[in-house]
Amino acid sequence: MKAAPEREVDRSISQTVKAQLALRDQILSGSLRPGERISELQAVETTGASRTPVRMALVRLEEEGLLEGIPSGGFMVKAFSERDISDSIELRGTLEGLAARFAAERGVSARELEPLKECLAAIDELLSQVPISIEAFSSYVTLNARFHAVLTELSRSPPLIRQIDRASALPFASPSGFVMAQSALPEAQQILIIGQEHHRVVIDAIENREGARAEAIMREHARLAVRNLRLALRNRTHLDLLPALALIKTATD
């Protein structure tokens, strides 16, 4: 039996996944700044995995859109402009609009709409409090993300679901991401209530198999988020609530 292993290995999870999560954390927490080159050696030290899994993780994060390959070799943290972000939100809205249309046109049973209505009711409950507490807001973020995820699934279209997942990979484009942005505004609760109305309408449209209406409301939903993100960025208040803020380009380019 060997006296001491060279390296402590956590066998409860794949090294590749471990490295991917650790690196994503570092990027989103701002430890690695946008535009900064990621050193493999450094990543090996901070993640505890060896170079092979680290490289796999880097490739996956590049495909995810958080990293950018450097032609001469290696990877750097991707930087996003304000317009990149608003476009990403609108993009996701367009995709979710298509998902809502598919759900409406292809038909959804009452049973399948249940989880959606449960989210709706739970959010209604949360929003009835004035003003909303931090804990309630946190619950809202989770419930809202769930609503969007369930709605996406109702499209029954694996390629579309896959694409929406990809579009949501960028943290500021995800449902929880733009909710965070909305929270940066003083009028947060009012905005949340408008969003909730959108949720209500999309369910109704799907029930009545009105594809065009279902699609339109989801796109409007995203446009609301874009407008509020713009406002939030102008005001620069409570922006620390917005995840992955570090990814936004600040310098001129």
Q: Answer yes or no: are the C-beta atoms of 85 and 226 closer than 8 Å.
A: no
What's the Rg (C-alpha) of the chain? 20
Which residues contact DNA by CB under 7 A? Answer: 6-7, 9, 11, 14-16, 37-41, 49-53, 55-56, 72-74
| Residue selected from 9, 25, 29, 162 as contacting its own copies according to rule CB under 8 A | 162
Q: Give the torsion sign (CA, 60, 65, 71, 73).
A: negative
- Distance, in Å, from the CA atom of 164 to the CA atom of 174, rounded to the nearest integer, reads 9
- Whichever of 93 and 119 has its CB closer to its own copies, that residue is 93
Q: Applying CB under 8 A, which part among 88-96, 189-197, 225-233, 240-248 lies near its own copies? A: 88-96
**Which of 154, 170, 205 has the alpha carbon at shortest distance from 24?**
170
| Residue selected from 60, 117, 223, 238 as contacting its own copies according to rule CB under 8 A | 60
Long-range pairs, 161-166, Cβ under 8 A, ≥24 = 161/99, 163/95, 164/92, 164/95, 164/96, 164/99, 166/64, 166/65
Other beta carbons within 10 angstroms of residue 152's beta carbon come to: 25
Q: Does 11 bind its own copies (CB under 8 A)?
A: no
Q: How far is the CB of 240 from DNA (least distance, A)?
A: 30
- Whichever of 198 and 219 has its CB closer to its own copies, that residue is 219
- Whichever of 19 and 126 has its CB closer to DNA, that residue is 19
Q: How far is the CB of 77 from its own copies (least distance, A)?
A: 15
Q: How far is the CB of 101 from its own copies (least distance, A)?
A: 9
Cα 192 to the center of its chain, rounded Å: 17
Number of residues lying near its own copies (CB under 8 A)? 28
- HSE-up of 202 (CA within 13 Å, CB side)? 34
- Whichever of 7 and 234 has its CB closer to DNA, that residue is 7
Residues binding its own copies (CB under 8 A)? 52, 55-56, 59-60, 63-65, 83-84, 87-88, 90-91, 94-95, 98, 102, 157-160, 162-163, 166-167, 170, 173
